[in-house]
Structure 1
């Protein structure tokens, strides 16, 4: 999935004793009812935010993660998070890559073995 918006807030990197690190960003979508969306980048993906500034228009490739947690009283709760894994600066219908991840180009020949 992808989400496009304007950078509203960049948080500092959080480092934990376990070696885990994360950095969060808030972007505001440009739609009839704009949303402020918090997206987290974890571990080596934290570095993707180093060239991002407030008010940049960006496109972020995301994964939605969900998890179940049982509290000490035995009550089960569910939590969601949005994790980013790629960022591109976004310009009127085109994009200019800021940070990249490996990608492949597909042709119609790549789909010849489909059953339909």
Structure 2
């Protein structure tokens, strides 16, 4: 699943040692656009943490999985990001962001069709 939103909070980076070695986890909260904005806390693990995209105020597109598990009769749900992309201004995707490089916006052109050129205000196409 994918969701677009603005990063509104970064929680503390968590690290530790497990049986498979060192791990790190970054939780962050995004807020969606729309009539009824939603706040969603999402977790990114290991190399999925895109530090250049995860800055408060950045617009991001997050690809994620939702998983629930039961423990002692209670259910817990995780939202785990597997891809985080920064979006350019206006919600259009920008080129992939890499450390130390700029990004080029890939915005669509917004040219009006010839039927909407100036002087045609009274001629609606419908």
Q: Counterparts of 2:76 and 2:38 in 1: how far apart (Å)?
A: 19
Residue 56 of structure 1 corresponds to 58
TM-score scaled by structure 1? 0.71
Name the SS of the counterpart of 2:60 in structure 1: strand
Residue 35 of structure 2 corresponds to 32
After the TM superposition, which segments of 4 or more aligned residues of structure 1 sit over 6 Å from their partners?
Answer: none
Cα RMSD over matched residues?
Answer: 1.6
Q: Within 5 A, what are the aligned runs for 1:1-116?
A: 1-18=1-18, 19-46=22-49, 48=50, 50-51=51-52, 52-70=54-72, 76-91=73-88, 92=90, 94-96=92-94, 97-98=96-97
Higher relative contact order (CA 8 A, sep 6+): 1
Asked if the contact 2:48–2:84 (Cα under 8 Å) also holds between the matched residues in 1, the reply is no
Higher Rg of the two aligned structures: 2
Name the SS of the counterpart of 1:20 in structure 2: strand
Of Structure 1 and Structure 2, the greater strand share is in 1
In structure 2, list runs of 5 or more residues that go unmatched: 99-126
Q: Counterparts of 2:61 and 2:33 in 1: how far apart (Å)?
A: 12
Q: Counterparts of 1:86 and 1:53 in 2: how far apart (Å)?
A: 15
Name the SS of the counterpart of 1:44 in structure 2: helix
Alignment: residue pair count: 92
In structure 1, list runs of 5 or more residues that go unmatched: 71-75, 100-116
Cα distance, 1:93 vs structure 2 = 5.5
